[in-house]
Structure 1
Amino acid sequence: MLRYQWEDVVRFWNSKKEEEVSSGQKVGLLQLFAITHRKKDGSPMTSEVGQIMEKLKEKKAEYEAIASNDSFVNLENIDNRIITKVLGPERYG
């Protein structure tokens, strides 16, 4: 995690949004990605990040549409699957 991303996460943890989320709601990877990749004014850090966020939203909508039509679809770890589809698998180093 880059320094500016870490600062955004810490700022989020100390914000009212975090209080709402910590009241029983889990923060998913998609939400964390959105939080850590936005400027203070709420806009994406770069145009590339904006495109990635759009792709993430589209994939989430696709998964939710499939899940609403098919009761056998497992929605656990859906954020992980969406991130992996859009950004690729995690790479270390």
Structure 2
Amino acid sequence: MTLSDSSVNLDDIDNRVITEVLGPERLRDQIAQMQVSTIKQIAQLKANATLREAEAKRKYVELQLQLKAEATTREAEAVVEATRKYDELQLQLRNMMKMFQQNQS
């Protein structure tokens, strides 16, 4: 393999140096350490993903509650407005009935 070879794999070179200089046992130790490190990283990534998922669910529930509260408020306001209009129309009707009765007399 030449230095200008663009397909040089640095991991292979590192493993070869470790094997030749430190021996197979040291290579096994290095591999075991890398595996432990990788397992820890995976566990941390899973934990982070779980936390993000829990936070997303919490925000979703919070948003749903907020939307329901807003809808309930709008419905209550609509009922109040409809009641106000109904009362106003009832008053107009009573006044018209009085005027009609007065004209009949």
* Higher RCO (CA < 8 A, seq sep 6+): 1
Whose helix fraction is larger, Structure 1's or Structure 2's? Answer: 2
Higher alpha-carbon Rg = 2
- TM tier, smaller: 0.3 to 0.5
Using structure 1 for the length normalisation, give the TM-score.
0.34
